[in-house]
């Protein structure tokens, strides 16, 4: 077993290596090209929402010179048959660099959700910002103690039906929106993390969100070790709806304690008229007999599958690696080059490439890889 001193040295070396790569990446001004393009989501009414990096001056004509040069995220909204409008994403007007971003739309609340990485000196954190009723609300998540770098945020909105008690103690059926967010964090331990934001009874709170270590949530924690591994082989978690469940999600992530790729099913309690099972996290005042006020927001993690780490993925930092997760829990990793879409199945060690052609675009290549994954 490694001594405490050697583990600390290795840990600091890991963080220093990530910091050097991140700072070099930002200094080169490459952050705007990190994504494959503007992240986009289509609402059921045909409205297209896109988030993309730009400068403040490109969105706000007539801004003074210093403000005009600020790098921001922008939201482009294109209604069906209408003209697009562009606005600055709330919370992004600052000197901080913004890295990759992702967008979601919730039909029930007509809310736009955006998550992105923000570089602050030698740190980077995950920010979430929400546009609802024409106003922006933003917040961040508490990192693990010490130096930290947060990367590759993913988000997904699901709906859950649950049973609660009314003012008279009678059972009543309700529904809520759950914004699931997964990202990678380099800190004292290298591991994927998860947080959920809830919209219940029309109320949204970003100041009371807990971030969870996925290794622990999956019941397989311990010291992590990334020695000899390319950053791109473990720092890109995947997030997908868990079909057939009540608002649940699948998260595919690298567990560097076991050095395996794991898929976990995450859901939340859906009956608050029953006593809560005792846990080590429900310590806040009770709101119903046997039920604590934070139990409804405590994720239930169930281990699903475990495969080998995709060590064949050895790519520059600016290349985005996406994932599809099959119903059998097998991840398929994919990324773009200038000429092809490359993919790797989680149960294989062979890289495959689909060449682009004038009559076979990147979007078509992505669609066939998704279809292949879903047939698993």
| 174: in domain | yes
Going by C-alpha positions, the residue among 299, 101, 271, 255 that lies closest to residue 171 is: 271
As a whole number of angstroms, the distance between CA 78 and CA 45 comes to: 11
Q: What is the DSSP letter of 205?
A: -
pTM for this entry = 0.83
When pLDDT is averaged across residues 227-238 and rounded to a whole number, the result is: 93
pLDDT tens digits, one per residue of 249-300 = 999 999 999 999 999 999 999 988 876 555 433 333 333 333 344 577 889 9
As a whole number of angstroms, the distance between CA 13 and CA 11 comes to: 5
| 311: in domain | yes
Measure CA of the first residue to CA of the last residue in the chain; give whole Å. Answer: 39
| 55: in domain | no
pLDDT at 10: 56
More confident residue, 282 or 48: 48
| 79: in domain | no
| 86: in domain | no
pLDDT at 233: 95
| Domain count of the fold of the chain | 1
Residue-number span of the structural domain to which 12 is assigned: 4-33+141-374
| Phi/psi at 167 (5° precision) | -60, -25
Centre a 10 Å sphere on the Cβ of residue 186 and count the other Cβ atoms it contains.
27
Q: Which of 29-38, 215-224, 253-262 has the highest mean pLDDT?
A: 253-262
Is the pLDDT at 330 greater than 90, yes or no? yes
Is the pLDDT at 201 greater than 50, yes or no? yes
Residue written as tokens 């475990």?
Answer: 306
Going by C-alpha positions, the residue among 277, 222, 199, 213 that lies closest to residue 251 is: 213
| Phi/psi at 287 (5° precision) | -115, -10
| 213: in domain | yes
For the CA atoms of 185, 186, 192, 197, the dihedral, rounded to the nearest 10 degrees, stands at -20
pLDDT at 293: 45
When the pLDDT of each residue in the chain is averaged and rounded to a whole number, the result is 83
pLDDT at 210: 87
Burial code of 38-66, b = ≥16 C-beta within 10 A, e = fewer? bbebebeeebbbbbbbbbbbebbeeeeee
Is the pLDDT at 231 greater than 80, yes or no? yes
- Say which residues have a Cβ less than 8 Å from residue 106's Cβ, sequence separation at least 6: 113, 157, 177, 179, 199
Q: What is the DSSP letter of 244?
A: T
Give Cα separations from 77 to 39, 140, 343 (angstroms).
Answer: 12, 24, 31
| Phi/psi at 263 (5° precision) | -120, 130
Question: Going along 9-132, which residue ranges are E strands?
Answer: 39-42, 48-55, 71-78, 85-88, 97-106, 111-120, 123-132
Can you list the alpha helix ranges (DSSP code H) found in 30-181?
56-59, 65-68
Is the pLDDT at 190 greater than 50, yes or no? yes
More confident residue, 27 or 160: 160
pLDDT at 86: 96
As a whole number of angstroms, the distance between CA 229 and CA 256 comes to: 10
pLDDT at 294: 52
When pLDDT is averaged across residues 225-247 and rounded to a whole number, the result is: 93
Give Cα separations from 31 to 45, 115, 205, 327 (angstroms).
Answer: 32, 15, 30, 34
| 95: in domain | no
| 68: in domain | no
Give Cα separations from 332 to 152, 200, 224, 249, 262 (angstroms).
Answer: 17, 34, 23, 16, 12
pLDDT tens digits, one per residue of 74-85 = 999 999 999 999
């Amino acid at each position: 077993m490694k001594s405490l001193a050697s583990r600390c040295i290795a840990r600091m070396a890991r963080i220093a290596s990530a910091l050097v790569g991140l700072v070099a990446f930002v200094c080169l001004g490459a952050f705007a090209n990190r994504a494959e393009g503007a992240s986009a989501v289509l609402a059921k009414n045909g409205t297209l929402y896109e988030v993309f990096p730009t400068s403040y001056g490109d969105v706000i004509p007539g801004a003074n010179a210093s403000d005009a040069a600020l790098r921001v995220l922008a939201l482009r909204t294109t209604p069906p048959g209408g003209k697009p409008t562009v606005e600055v994403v709330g919370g992004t007007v600052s000197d901080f660099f913004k890295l990759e971003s992702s967008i979601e739309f919730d039909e029930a609340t007509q809310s736009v959700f955006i998550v992105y990485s923000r570089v602050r000196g030698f740190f980077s954190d995950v920010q979430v910002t929400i546009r609802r009723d024409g106003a922006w609300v933003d917040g961040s998540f508490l990192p693990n103690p010490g130096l930290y770098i947060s990367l590759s945020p993913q988000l997904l909105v699901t709906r859950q039906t649950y049973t609660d008690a009314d003012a008279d103690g009678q059972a009543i059926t309700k529904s809520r929106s759950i914004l699931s967010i997964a990202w990678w964090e380099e800190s004292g331990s290298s591991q994927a993390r998860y947080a959920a934001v809830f919209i219940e009874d029309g109320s949204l709170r970003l100041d009371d969100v807990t971030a969870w270590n996925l290794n622990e949530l999956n019941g397989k924690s311990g010291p992590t070790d990334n020695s000899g591994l390319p950053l791109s082989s473990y720092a890109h978690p995947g997030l997908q709806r868990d079909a057939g469940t009540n608002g649940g999600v699948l998260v595919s992530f690298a567990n560097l304690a076991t050095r395996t790729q794991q898929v976990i099913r995450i859901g939340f309690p859906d009956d608050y008229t029953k006593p809560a099972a005792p846990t080590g996290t429900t310590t806040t005042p009770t709101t119903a007999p046997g039920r604590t006020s934070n139990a409804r927001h405590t994720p239930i993690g169930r281990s699903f599958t475990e495969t080998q780490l995709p060590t064949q993925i050895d790519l520059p930092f600016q290349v985005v690696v996406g994932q599809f997760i099959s119903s059998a829990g097998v991840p398929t990793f994919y990324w773009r080059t200038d000429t092809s879409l490359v993919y790797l199945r989680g149960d294989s060690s062979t890289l495959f490439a689909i060449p682009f052609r004038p009559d076979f675009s990147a979007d078509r290549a992505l669609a066939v890889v998704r279809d292949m994954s879903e047939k698993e």
